[in-house]
């Protein structure tokens, strides 16, 4: 990078733009293009300029209907004010014999003549792949002529490794997974609807293997990221394997599989610096979805607490798409699949999820394993939403649109069976890692609808599995490379030859001025709109049905169906994620989109971002959408399904220290175990410690190695000596504050009120008491049994949001 000019010491200089431009995880609320500054500041101003030039996707309204599909427009593109906009790095001007110079404008050099890669070895000696001459290509390096071969023989190792290597190590999406075996049991025969084997007779059990996963993170990423969760079930039926490959959310970001690579490229770590891992709180994701208004409904789900589930055992599963059920007479109906956890739908709170990711990145995997090992088998009810084509045509939305749900008030759920996960895998790699799911794997009685996103998945899963054994870049091998220029957003994979410049690998985008953009009908390939039958009005076409253009009605339905607490969580999630975006124009574009879903939500998010005034609402692709049948659906709230009221699988921290009154703690520990919960004794250290009764109690966890946010509830003990010891340990106050902040149940025995005061909790009690349901239970000596019973009842409620504050008071 050229050296910046020397500052003039006699001139006052504003270094704020230069300082702000050096951050990659957040940015200022406004970028002043006249502020000047160094090259980094100029790039920030230029990027803001091209992004702001696209306040919305102007072609969005031209994607719907048959006529639009036969005459696509050219894509939006903005001329960048400088080459800085397209640069991956400001250091690209620093050339060398290896890296060369900066990329030439609009050139893909990999498509030039094969002279660039031809090799002639005439008169040359053998070398390693690093260019080191090989003296002996006949013998391995040994210790003596009859001795063992030495590990240091790098020539042998390179030659053999190149021969027998290599494999793509993990899935592109859903890389982070956890699995379990179990069975599906039919509740009653469903032969009037389907001939599918699992539904033929009551009581019939079909073996299953289930894989839960996150979507965006790599195989070694954390479990508690804000993300969609995969919920894939393989039914091992007598007529073959049926894979119901779904998610824990019933809708998706996009309507057509054509946009899936763009979505994944946008949400994955940014290609120029590979950050952030397993997170969507960054520019490229929000740049993409802010230009894709059909994502708004899914964003409501992802920004809700459903994206940070408490466990796999307490989250729903959905088939997402509309499928067909076919009976033996050949009659078919439409169907959507729903998995509902018997334990209820429960989640983490954001602060808790962040802290858990540091203390135990395997939190969900561990929870699933431990539940099954303890006999607390996760159980789910399978329900169907069944409706006819005639009913579907009367809906205000299109049932082929994966960004829409069919509200339960419109088509009720019909329970058809249950699934129980009762066996952990014997070998993670052999089972969980090697299992391959595919939506194309169906059995008689299950068929597809014309959902365009589903059609892409039918192909993609098999293709992805093949690529794990080979590589996607065969087109870049010299003999396959075309002479014509190649410019697309395909990236990475094995044997990638091209070195792409810039951070953007998706379309639409504004960060690269829209480039590369679609050619349109004037220059690009357009499929001939052939018809299946001559009398039909329409045939093959790249377009969406008109109802797909309603991007906000169900997003509004989801938001309006949440409780006030959940609505606050959604607003807070948008605020946090968008605060990580470095380009103000992207934030403003997203808030403009949210105004079409909820003015209340948009205002909360804008206030949290210091955005005043609100940007104008984004133009609607469908100016006059149909009136929805349902405007509020309680079933969309997590709190609608509190579960069976049990506390199975919960973990409770019982704090102990030398001099503790052990009797009430041990009695409570027994009561927890009897109800399927685990009470762990947590002390300043692990190991035995004397009690007030003259015995010893053995702590199996410490305040240091098991922080408070790993537990579902907290019990503070009695005993003056123990309380004094806990008060001297700074972890105790952190433990209490996290439990209080995360709205968990807290039982306070006797003098432990002092520990609450030390942690600053009493100052926060006024609001909680005013709203009721504090989840705080106090017990004096003699009243422990009644208090313990009240604690168990409060624990069954999971959270006590009446004491939640933003920002936290304690």
Catalytic residues: 174, 247
Alpha-helical runs (H) found in 561-701: 564-579, 584-594, 599-608, 662-674
Q: Which residue has the tokens 């999630």?
A: 573
Of the candidates 278, 299, 271, the residue with the CA atom closest to the CA atom of residue 489? 271
Distance CA 532, CA 526 (A): 18
The rounded distance, in Å, linking the Cα atoms of 767 and 63 is 50
* Alpha-carbon gap, residue 757 to 118, rounded angstroms: 76
CA distance to 266, 276, 322, 595, per residue, from 549 (Å): 22, 32, 18, 16
Please enumerate, as own/partner, the contacts of 239-243 that have beta carbons within 8 Å and a separation of 24 or more.
239/197, 239/443, 239/444, 240/441, 240/443, 241/441, 241/443, 242/196, 242/198, 242/441, 242/442, 242/443, 242/446, 243/437, 243/438, 243/439, 243/441, 243/442
The answer to whether the beta carbons of residues 67 and 61 sit under 8 Å apart is no
The token pair at 670 is 């027994």
679: Cα separation from own chain's centroid: 31
Instruction: Look at residues 172, 266, 269 and name the one whose alpha carbon lies nearest to residue 493.
Output: 172
Query: What is the longest distance spanned by two Cα atoms in the chain?
Result: 96
Could you tell me the two tokens for 102?
């900066």
269: burial class by Cβ within 10 Å (0-12, 13-18, 19+)?
middle
Q: Are 605 and 587 in contact (CB under 8 A)?
A: no
CB 242 within 8 A of CB 438: no
Tell me which residue has tokens 């030495």: 150
Q: Give dist(CA 109, CA 123) in Å, integer.
A: 29
Q: Do strands 446-448 and 696-699 pair parallel, antiparallel, or not at all (unpaired)?
A: unpaired
User: Following CA atoms 490, 493, 498, 500 in sequence, which dihedral angle do they give, to the nearest 10 degrees?
Assistant: 60
| CA–CA distance, 35 with 642 (Å, rounded to integer) | 54
Are 507 and 489 within 8 A, CB to CB? yes
Percent of the chain as helix, strand, coil, to the nearest 5: 35, 15, 50
CA–CA dist 272, 491 (Å, integer): 12
- Side-chain-facing half-sphere of 765: CA atoms under 13 Å: 12
Residues in Cβ contact with 370 at an 8 Å cutoff, skipping those fewer than 6 apart = none
How many Å apart are CA 634 and CA 631, to the nearest integer? 10
Q: Which tokens belong to 638?
A: 């997590």
Angle at 97 between CA 95 and CA 99, to 5 degrees: 55
Q: What element of type H or E holds 39?
A: helix 39-52
**Going along 684-803, which residue ranges are E strands?**
687-690, 696-699, 701-702, 713-716, 745-749, 776-779
What's the CA gap between 497 and 500, in Å, rounded?
9
Q: Which two tokens stand for residue 785?
A: 């049994």
Rounded to whole angstroms, the Cα distance separating 699 from 678 reads: 14
What does the alpha-carbon distance between residue 13 and residue 487 come to, in Å, rounded to a whole number?
A: 42
Contacts of 810 (CB under 8 A, 6+ apart): 737, 740, 741, 759, 760, 761, 763, 764
């Amino acid at each position: 990078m050229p050296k910046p000019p020397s500052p003039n010491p006699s001139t006052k200089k504003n270094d704020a733009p230069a300082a702000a431009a050096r951050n990659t995880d957040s940015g200022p609320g406004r970028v002043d293009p006249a502020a000047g500054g160094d090259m980094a500041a100029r790039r920030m101003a230029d990027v803001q300029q091209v992004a702001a030039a696209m306040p919305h996707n102007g072609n969005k309204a031209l994607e719907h209907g048959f006529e639009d599909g036969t005459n696509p427009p050219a894509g939006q593109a903005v001329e960048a004010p400088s080459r800085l906009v397209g640069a991956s790095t400001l250091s690209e001007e620093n050339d060398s014999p290896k890296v060369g110079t900066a990329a030439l404008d609009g050139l893909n050099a990999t498509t030039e003549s094969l002279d660039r890669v031809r090799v002639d070895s005439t008169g040359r000696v053998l070398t390693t792949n690093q260019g080191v001459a090989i003296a002996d290509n006949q013998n391995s390096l040994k210790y003596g002529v009859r001795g063992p071969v030495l590990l240091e023989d790098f020539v042998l190792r390179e030659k053999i490794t190149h021969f027998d290597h290599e494999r793509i190590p993990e899935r592109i999406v859903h890389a982070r997974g956890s699995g379990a075996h179990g069975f599906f049991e039919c509740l009653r025969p469903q032969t009037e609807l389907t001939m599918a084997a699992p539904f033929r007779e009551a009581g019939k059990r079909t073996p299953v293997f289930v894989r839960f996963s996150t979507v965006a993170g790599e195989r070694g990423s954390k479990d508690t990221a804000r993300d969609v969760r995969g919920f894939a079930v393989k039914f091992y039926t007598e007529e073959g394997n049926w894979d119901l490959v779904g998610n824990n959310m019933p809708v998706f970001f996009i309507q057509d599989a054509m946009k899936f690579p763009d979505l994944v490229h946008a949400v994955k770590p940014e290609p120029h610096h590979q950050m952030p891992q397993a997170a969507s709180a960054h520019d490229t994701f929000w740049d993409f979805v802010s230009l894709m208004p059909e994502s708004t409904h899914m964003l409501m789900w992802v920004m809700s607490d459903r994206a940070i589930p408490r466990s796999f055992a307490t989250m729903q599963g959905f088939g997402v798409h509309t499928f067909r059920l076919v009976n033996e007479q050949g009659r078919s109906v439409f169907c959507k699949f729903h998995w509902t956890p018997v334990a209820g739908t429960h989640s983490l709170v954001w602060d808790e999820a962040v802290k858990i990711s540091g203390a135990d990145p395997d939190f969900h995997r561990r929870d699933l394993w431990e539940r099954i090992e303890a006999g607390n088998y996760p159980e789910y009810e399978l329900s169907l939403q069944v409706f006819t084509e005639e009913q579907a045509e009367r809906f205000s939305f299109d049932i082929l649109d994966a960004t829409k749900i069919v509200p339960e008030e419109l088509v009720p759920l019909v329970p058809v069976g249950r699934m129980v996960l009762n066996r952990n895998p014997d070998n993670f790699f052999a089972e969980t890692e090697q299992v391959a799911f595919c939506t194309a794997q169906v059995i008689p009685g299950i068929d597809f609808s014309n959902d365009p996103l589903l059609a892409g998945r039918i192909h993609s899963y098999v293709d992805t599995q093949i690529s794990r054994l080979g590589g996607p870049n065969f087109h870049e091998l010299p003999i396959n490379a075309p002479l014509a220029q190649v410019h697309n957003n395909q990236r990475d994979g094995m044997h990638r030859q091209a070195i792409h410049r810039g951070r953007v690998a998706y379309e639409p985008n504004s960060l690269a001025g829209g480039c590369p953009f679609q050619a349109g009908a004037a220059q690009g390939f357009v499929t001939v709109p052939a018809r299946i039958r001559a009398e039909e009005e329409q045939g093959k076409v790249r377009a969406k049905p008109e109802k797909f253009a309603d991007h906000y009605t169900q997003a509004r339905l989801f938001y309006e169906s949440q409780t006030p607490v959940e609505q606050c969580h959604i607003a807070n999630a948008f605020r946090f994620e968008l605060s990580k975006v470095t380009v103000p124009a992207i934030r403003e574009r997203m808030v403009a989109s949210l105004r079409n879903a909820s003015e209340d939500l948009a205002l909360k998010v804008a206030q949290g971002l210091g955005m005043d005034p609100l940007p104008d609402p984004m133009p609607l692709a469908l100016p006059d959408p149909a009136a929805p049948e349902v405007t509020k659906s309680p079933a969309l709230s997590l709190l609608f399904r509190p579960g069976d009221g049990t506390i199975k699988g919960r973990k409770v921290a019982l704090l102990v220290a030398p001099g503790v009154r052990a009797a009430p703690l041990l009695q409570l520990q027994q009561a927890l175990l009897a109800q399927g919960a685990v009470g762990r004794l947590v002390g300043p250290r692990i190991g035995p410690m004397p009690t007030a009764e003259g015995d010893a109690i053995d702590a199996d966890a410490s305040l240091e190695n098991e922080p408070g946010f790993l537990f579902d509830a907290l019990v503070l003990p009695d005993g003056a000596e123990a309380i004094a010891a806990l008060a001297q340990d700074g972890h105790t106050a952190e433990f209490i504050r996290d439990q209080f902040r995360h709205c968990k149940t807290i039982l306070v025995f006797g003098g432990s009120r002092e520990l609450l005061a030390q942690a600053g909790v009493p100052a926060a009690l006024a609001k909680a008491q005013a709203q009721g349901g504090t989840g705080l239970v106090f017990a004096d000596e003699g009243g422990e049994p009644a208090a313990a019973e009240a604690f168990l009842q409060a624990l069954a409620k999971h959270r006590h949001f009446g004491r939640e504050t933003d920002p936290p008071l304690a």
